DNA sequence: CAAACCTTGACACGCCCGTGTTAGGGTTAG
DNA sequence: CTAACCCTAACACGGGCGTGTCAAGGTTTG
């Protein structure tokens, strides 16, 4: 037992289903290394990351997609720059209470996630 | 004609449908001011922003949702910090070619958008 | 060698996003 | 005053996300 768990074992200690572990990997968020025969092997660091990921999502009401986008933002500098530039060119409206619809949506989503 | 367009006029010069202009507003991305009776009024800055938004989306294969999330990232410092912290705790794997599935997905999406 | 794992690939399904459209009702301009 | 706008709210719908499940086949272990 060389300090690494198979996908099924990792599933049990992290709460993510094996299916989701593969999905999370395909999103580039947590990528285990592989045994010579191709089995996924999750080390302590990956396991910790998977647990933290769960908190990150539920505490802020975001999804894997959002975290995936954040990943793109830090990998693709051009993308980050373009987004930054777009926000920078903000018109007047210096201080204001942000879009009610949007926030209500996000809050509801958050509440639902917490309730589940 | 005091240097501000109604939603229908703005629609014509930006290419966004009136429906989408309202949707974009609800996402907090471009918020026109209002006439005393509640009509949306788009000034030059907002019009420019709407056109740039279109480019931002198509050039990087992202959606309004992603830009909305970027907005949250810069408005909610706690969220930005949490995401940052999660990425910071990255395990080994110093240099590597990122998740093929994910990238292929993003690229296909991008291509589709360009083709459309 | 058989049971219990693992792999990738695909189908299925509920929910949300992006969008159009319609309904019911105010506002503005000729 | 009527036509042509505008508003919000809601239904509709195709496509993608998050997730389960199954199929067909390789690996590990007792």
Q: HEC states along B70-96?
A: HHHHHHCHHHHHHHHHHHHCCCCCCCC
Interface test mutation site (partner A, options B19, B43, B49, B86, max chain A beta carbons within 10 A): B86
Are A93 and B31 in contact (CB < 8 Å)?
yes
Contact predicate B113/B105, CB 8 Å: no
Please state whether B113 falls in left (phi above 0), alpha (psi between -120 and 50) or beta.
Answer: alpha
B52 or B96, which is more confident: B52
Chain A residues touching B34 at Cβ < 8 A: none
Supply the pLDDT for residue A58.
87
Supply the pLDDT for residue A17.
96
Q: Cβ–Cβ contacts within 10 Å for residue A17, how many? A: 12
Supply the pLDDT for residue B110.
42
Supply the pLDDT for residue A111.
41
Q: Is the pLDDT of residue B63 over 80?
A: yes
CB < 7 A to strand C: residues 30-49, chain B? 35-39
Phi and psi of B43, rounded to 5°? -85, 175
Q: Is the pLDDT of residue A38 over 90?
A: yes
Min Cα distance A89 → chain B (Å) is: 8
Strand partners, A38: none
Q: How confident is the model at residue A42 (pLDDT cuts 50, 70, 90)?
A: very high
Supply the pLDDT for residue A109.
41
State the nucleotide closest to A39 in CA–C1' terms.
C6
**Does residue A8 approach strand C to less than 7 Å at its CB?**
yes
Determine the average pLDDT of the residues in A45-74. 92
Supply the pLDDT for residue A89.
78
Q: Is the pLDDT of residue A96 over 90?
A: no
**Does residue A23 approach strand D to less than 7 Å at its CB?**
yes
Reduced to 3 states (helix: H, G, I; strand: E, B; else coil), residue B39 is coil
3-state secondary structure labels for all residues of chain A? CCCCECHHHHHHHHCCCHHHHHHHHHCCCCCCEECCCCCEEECHHHHHHHHHHHHHHHHHCCCHHHHHHHHHHHHCHHHHHHHHHHHHCCCCCCCCCCCHHHHHHHHHHHHHHHHC
Q: State percent of chain B over pLDDT 70.
A: 75
Q: Is the pLDDT of residue A81 over 70?
A: yes
State the nucleotide closest to A112 in CA–C1' terms.
C15
Determine the average pLDDT of the residues in B62-78. 93
């Amino acid at each position: 037992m060389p300090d690494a768990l198979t996908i099924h074992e990792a599933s049990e200690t992290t709460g993510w289903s094996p299916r989701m572990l593969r999905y999370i990997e395909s999103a580039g968020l947590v990528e285990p290394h592989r045994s010579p025969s191709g089995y996924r092997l999750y080390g302590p660091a990956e396991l910790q990351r998977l647990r933290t990921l769960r908190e990150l999502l539920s505490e802020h009401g975001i999804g894997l997609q959002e975290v995936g986008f954040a990943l793109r933002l830090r990998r693709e500098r051009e993308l980050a720059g373009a987004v930054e530039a777009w926000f920078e060119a903000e018109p007047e409206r210096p201080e204001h209470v942000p879009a009610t619809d949007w926030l209500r949506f996000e809050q509801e989503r958050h509440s639902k996630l917490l309730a589940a």
